[in-house]
Amino acid sequence: MSQPLSLLIDRWKADEHATHRTWFLWEERLKNFRSIRRGIGQVVREVEAGTFGNAYRGSSLETVVGSIAEQRQIFKGADHAFLWKPKLRIPDIYENPVNQRAFGQLLHACDCCDNAEALVEAVNRIDALKIKGLGPAVANLLYFIHPTFVLPFNTAIVNGYNAVTGSNVKLGRWDHYLSMREGAMRLNATYRHQLSNDLGAIAGLLFDIGSGRYSAPPRGDDAQGLAAWEEDLSRVREESAAAAKQWAAARESDTTHTQIQGWLRDLGKRLGFSVWIASNDRGRAHEGGQLGDGCLTELLPGAMGSADAVRLIDVVWVEPSTRKVAAAFEVEHSTSIYSGIVRMLDLALGTEVGAASTLFLVAPDNRRDDVAAQLRRPAFSRVSELGIRYLPYSQLQQHRDAIARFGSGLKPVLEISQLL
């Protein structure tokens, strides 16, 4: 199976519609890791303090899981496992305080551990409690804490693993998940030069096999099956018109996101601020150059509290004379507003930046209600206390030239934004 699987991996990586390019190499994926981990920490603190409550809706857990579920197709539906099903009373972590604390302890133990053995031990402890409905779907949370130790989990990934290895992994069982994880890590080690130390890569491959995009290579000495599979693989795999259109829209979304960042970059400079562009966006092509041209190349000492909390914010304006942050902007073009607000939550909980600067969510005009609805969520109360503001695209586009010519400081930007 080794040579055919190696061939499949190469074809998969070259396919612009497969998860390797649409998700694993997607820059927004990397931006969410720290914020999701911070959100998981908030869940743990609330459970430990007894303030988590007894409902999923409106909780900090819904915020984090929602942010994961919005990360393109591989995590679509990730929130289903955490929705409270009252007739079945699953997952039993909302109205059972003992189980809730055990769940919080699992998240805390995995957040604190630094090796795979400790992580597996924590999983075995929760498995021993047999909490009804709390199964391996939790791995999708743990993946964002330890992407090199934890394999993401869903039905398609399980189906893909079974198809590739001939295993019979079943959903909902931690022991089956741990067995699949071990096998997937062995596969990953074998094809490490084609895959990644991050288990998200092999999870994406298994997802695309399990969801039917690719057929698994025949196993053993099935020469006829192997020949048929190779013939099938050699044909060009074109997406349907709808899927191609969707991918084109996603690329257009990335382009628009960069354009808005460029507007904010140029406006900040004209108003006399030093500008920081998210570290993983600086190299993006923009107007014949790169988005990070003329911007800060490193965080100013003492300017940003916790540098890790700020480095992935889309655009940050810094006051040159004081080296203090004047404003931070998150651009939410078409992706979930969760992600931007979670990063603002990261600022609110982890640094002094939020208290000393103005925070803006920059989004299309038709997303105003979405922004307002998310900011009203109880899990985002710390962010809303900071007076986070909504800046519509139309106002930025219409007034940015006049502000650049005649404005000074943040006042004109505050006038075209809205406090929600």
pLDDT tens across 123-148, in order?
999 999 999 999 999 999 999 999 99
Give the model's pLDDT for residue 351: 54
| Residues 124, 125, 131, 133, CA torsion sign | negative
Q: For helices 337-350 and 27-49, what crossing angle results, to 10°? A: 60
Cα(218)–Cα(166) distance, integer angstroms:
10
pLDDT confidence bin for 201, thresholds 50/70/90: very high
Q: Tell me the domain boundaries of the chain.
A: 2-234, 246-419
Write out the E strands in 264-323.
Answer: 274-277, 285-286, 289-290, 315-319
Choice between 244 and 350, residue whose per-residue pLDDT is larger: 350
pLDDT of res. 205: 97
Entry pTM: 0.71
| Residue 119 in this model has a pLDDT that exceeds 60 | yes
> What CA–CA distance (Å, rounded) separates 360 from 29?
21
Angle, helices 174-190/155-165, rounded to nearest 10 degrees: 60
Number of helices (H), then strands (E), belonging to the chain: the values are: 19, 8
Give the pLDDT of residue 255: 61
Better pLDDT: 26 or 97: 97
Among 30-44, 154-168, 214-228, which is the least confidently predicted range?
Answer: 214-228
Smallest CA-to-CA distance from 103 within 80, 133, 83, 78 is with 133
Averaged pLDDT score across all residues of the chain: 83
Separation of alpha carbons 24 and 355, rounded Å: 34
Tell me what pLDDT residue 311 has: 77
**Extended strands (E) in 47-203:** none
pLDDT computed for residue 280 by the predictor: 78
Q: What per-residue confidence (pLDDT) applies to 30?
A: 79
CB 354, CB 368: distance < 8 Å: no
240 vs 215: CA distance, rounded Å? 18
Instruction: Determine which of 65-74, 170-179, 320-329, 380-389 has the lowest per-residue pLDDT on average.
Output: 380-389
pLDDT tens digit sequence for 340-361: 777 776 665 555 554 556 889 9
Q: What is the pLDDT of residues 211-242, one digit of tens each?
A: 999 988 876 655 554 455 455 445 434 433 34
